[in-house]
Structure 1
Amino acid sequence: MGKTLKIGIIGAGGIARDAHLPNYVKCGDKVEIVAVSDVVKEKAEQLSLDFNIPHAFSSYEEMLKKIEIDAVSICTPNKFHYPATIAALNAGCHVLCEKPPAMTAKEAEEMAMAAEKAGKILTYGFHYRHAPQVEVLKRFIDGGELGSIYAARVTAMRRRGIPGWGVFTNKELQGGGPLIDIGVHMLDTALFLMGYPEPDTVLGVTYQKLGTKKGVGLMGSWDWENFSVEDMARGMVTFKNGASILLESAFAANIEKADEMNVTLMGDKGGADVFPLKIYQEKHETLIDITPTHLPKRNYHELELKRFVDACIDETTPLSTPEQGVYLQQIINGLYESALKGEAVKLSKSVPF
């Protein structure tokens, strides 16, 4: 039997309970979950009981100091991604940090540099990358079927999907609303399929029209009186290679569908929609659509956790890299900055990769 990875969990909320821990358990003898921490110690203790974890702490600093840990999952609100990641890397741990990377691009850059200095893996929880639709389309793209991808459209829209739990509507803890929460997933998916080009300029606008009013909640009742994030964000991103992305993300908007998560790509040899997967081309003087007749059913989180564990054990490069996290965070923060200023924002040079 190979090495057993000792795992620590930072943050005992829903994403740890529902996604990370059950899928670590599925890794079998490859992992041993040794500790969990949360500022509310009772939550950490309950999680330790439910998953038979031997140690529970109210401080991740104490956990990292007292327990031998090889890798951690960071499942905290966005505000704490940066300090927890830096602490874990400095303690010699590999890190899987939930999305988004951080609250600011500067934090993401420092996280990337800390990972390089420590010689440890830092990857992010962009589980849509592990969807079969994305993996199949990536093979088509790598095979030249779409040619040069020069335009994309990113959609992450809900009709009335403001989360009625957690801190998703708290700007101080999350940094924003749908753009940084669900929009970031589809934006990362688009960037991944486009080869993560270097961003150049962003133009964004945000709205707060429905979240501050009492209304129908398809994801539970939210605290509309303390709603401090945007309920819709729209924007455009241009890249150094000439490509562009149009983006639209909302927790609440007066649209037909309850929710829509999709990426549309347009290249000079073909285009595609990702969810559901359909490829559009012109061949032999005919416009054709290509639709897979079968795609495997997969648990995206299960694949994400398995591949993180394998990368840590085999010391290989994970699917999502710290440098990509920098580019993504630059775009997100740039869109918010642009919306605040009412003008386009030129992004600074990123860490090259």
Structure 2
Amino acid sequence: MRKLKVGIIGCGGIAQNVHIPNYMKHKEHVEVLAVCDASDGRAQNVAKQWGIPHAYTNFREMLQHHELDAVSVCTPNKFHAEMAIAALQAGCHVLCEKPPAVTVAEAEAMAAAAKAANKFLTFGFHYRHAPEVDLLKRYIDSGEFGHIYAAKSQAVRRRGIPGWGVFTNKELQGGGALIDIGVHMLDTTLYLMGYPQPELVLGVTYQKLGNRDGVGLMGKWDWENFSVEDMARGMIVFKDGSSVTLEAAFAANVEKDEVMQVSLMGDQGGADVFPVKIYQEKHEALLDTTPAYLQQNNYYEVQFKRFIDCCLQNKPPLSTAEQAVVLQKIITALYESAASGQAVRIQ
């Protein structure tokens, strides 16, 4: 079997700590041929560290000079659409970091480019690849929960504002806690619900703790230039009548350092996902079920193994460009609702 030739756009933390190491675990099937970063020094250093033969500062040059099969987009959110579309048009499958984009129009253009190129466009929603999610998806697909009509999505940190990168820069990221970590749990929720079509969205955002100095559990952040929300809350109502409540926070006065949780409620059963606990009524009893054993894995490792298999075997990825458009519509509507103080209807 020939090797998958891969290029990396963006050489920051997610590329160095996740994308490159996980591609390197599959050297028998993958060759990371080139990296690109706006900083020539960083691109050269990363290439040297990992033994990658080529380094660029211009992603279009990288795409022109090499016949790549797949590209990882690991840049700030503002650049996702431009770079993913260019890679798709160059004939590459694309694994783009979350969120899909900054605007709905960008997400739609990315999906259209993937369809036109007949290439896969998937996203870095690694929680989808958790064993807990795989298990509950089997429960759901077998009908054990019936119709999931309500869910709760939480991504809340006590003082978890990133002290590195551009996570607190609205111009480059498009937002804060919602678009960075809230999007993970929201995507996981929607995936388990079968990605229903949204109809009505109500959201609020807050900037209460991030714009002042304080204790940081993820390093000291630039509080004087903090331009994003530190908390977002919302409710989404779908066309089938189901609903999701959402809570995302970089910083909140709560007990636990971090809560990443999805809770599902169906007419035949429900569950909390992390860790798995299943709630059902059977044989005239209310039952709580937990796995005696569930083999754990590294979510990222599974994500990259599945992406590589998709590219080499031409099979659809778990996260699709069409789902990304739906997700982007919800994220955008939540921000629009927060800004206007009114619920937003999605067409």
Name the TM-score, length of structure 2 as normaliser: 0.99
Cα distance between partner residues in 2 of 1:87 and 1:301: 25
Equivalent pairs counted in the alignment come to: 347
Aligned to 2:188: 189
Mapping of residues 37-52 of structure 1, within 5 Å? 37-52=36-51
Matched, 1:179 2:181: no
In the alignment, which residue of structure 2 is the partner of 1:341? 340
Q: Deviation per CA, 1:150-171: give whole Å up to 9, x if none.
A: 0000000000000000000000
Determine the structure 2 residue equivalent to 1:307.
306
One-letter identity of the residue aligned with 1:39? A
Instruction: Note the alpha carbon deviations across 1:79-117, whole angstroms, 9 max, x for none.
Output: 010000011011111100000000011110110010000
Kindly report which structure 2 residues correspond to 1:28-39, keeping only aligned pairs within 5 A, or say none: 28-39=27-38
Q: Distance in 2 between matches of 1:143 and 1:94?
A: 32
| C-alpha distance after superposition, 1:51-87 (max 9, x if no partner) | 1000000010111011221100000010010000011
The aligned residue for residue 133 of structure 2 is 134
Deviation at 1:28, TM superposition (A): 2.2
1:167 aligned counterpart, secondary structure: coil
Matches within 5 A, 1:207-286: 207-286=206-285
Moved more, 59-68 or 178-187: 59-68
Within 2, Cα distance between the matches of 1:143 and 1:108? 32
Q: Hey, what does 1:351 align to over in structure 2?
A: none
Structure 2 counterpart of 1:74: 73
Q: Tell me the CA shift for residue 16 of structure 1.
A: 0.4
SS of equivalent residue, structure 1 residue 288 = strand
Once structures 1 and 2 are overlaid, which stretch shifts more, 61-70 or 168-177? 61-70
Runs of 4+ deviating beyond 2 Å: none
> For each residue in 1:120-155, what CA deviation from the matched residue of structure 2 results, as whole angstroms up to 9, or x when unmatched?
010001000000000000011111111100000000
**Equivalent residues in 2 for 1:75-114 (5 A)?**
75-114=74-113
Shift of 1:37: 0.1
| Map 1:51-62 → 2, pairs under 5 A | 51-62=50-61
Identical-pair percentage:
65
Q: Distance in 2 between matches of 1:29 and 1:159?
A: 42
The amino acid that maps onto 2:187 is D
Q: Which residue is equivalent to 2:154? A: 155
Q: Which residue of 1 aligns with 2:204?
A: 205
Q: Distance in 2 between matches of 1:158 and 1:189?
A: 18
Cα drift, residue 41 of structure 1: 1.1
Cα distance between partner residues in 2 of 1:308 and 1:154: 25
Please name the residue that 1:11 is paired with.
10
How far apart are the structure 2 equivalents of 1:276 and 1:310? 28
**How many Å separate the matches in 2 of 1:338 and 1:3?**
49
Letter in 2 for 1:89: L
Q: Distance in 1 between matches of 2:215 and 2:32?
A: 40
Q: Deviations over 1:194-234 (max 9, x none)?
A: 00001111000000000001000000000000000000000
Partner amino acid, structure 2, of 1:136:
L
CA RMSD of aligned residues (A): 0.6
CA distance in 2, matches of 1:330, 1:27: 35
Q: Tell me the SS of whatever aligns to 1:146.
A: coil
Q: CA deviation at 1:318?
A: 0.3
Tell me the amino acid that sits aligned with residue 217 of structure 1: G
Cα distance in 2 for residues equivalent to 1:340 and 1:3: 51
- TM superposition shift of 1:294: 1.1
Secondary structure of the structure 1 residue equivalent to 2:28: helix
Determine the C-alpha separation between the residues in 1 that align with 2:116 and 2:75: 24
Q: Which stretch has the larger CA shift, 289-298 or 208-217? A: 289-298
What is the CA–CA distance in structure 1 between the aligned matches of 2:43 and 2:121, rounded to whole Å? 23
Secondary structure at 2:99's aligned position in 1?
coil
- 2:116 aligns with 117
Distance in 2 separating the partners of 1:298 and 1:46: 30
CA distance in 1, matches of 2:133, 2:220: 33
What's the CA shift for 1:29? Answer: 1.4
Deviation at 1:27, TM superposition (A): 1.3
Distance 1:324 1:3 in 2: 30
Shift of 1:3: 1.9
Q: Distance in 2 between matches of 1:280 and 1:187?
A: 21
Over residues 243-275 of structure 1, what are the superposed CA-to-partner deviations in whole Å (9 max), with x where a residue is unaligned? 000000000000011110000000000010000
Q: TM-score, normalised by structure 1?
A: 0.98
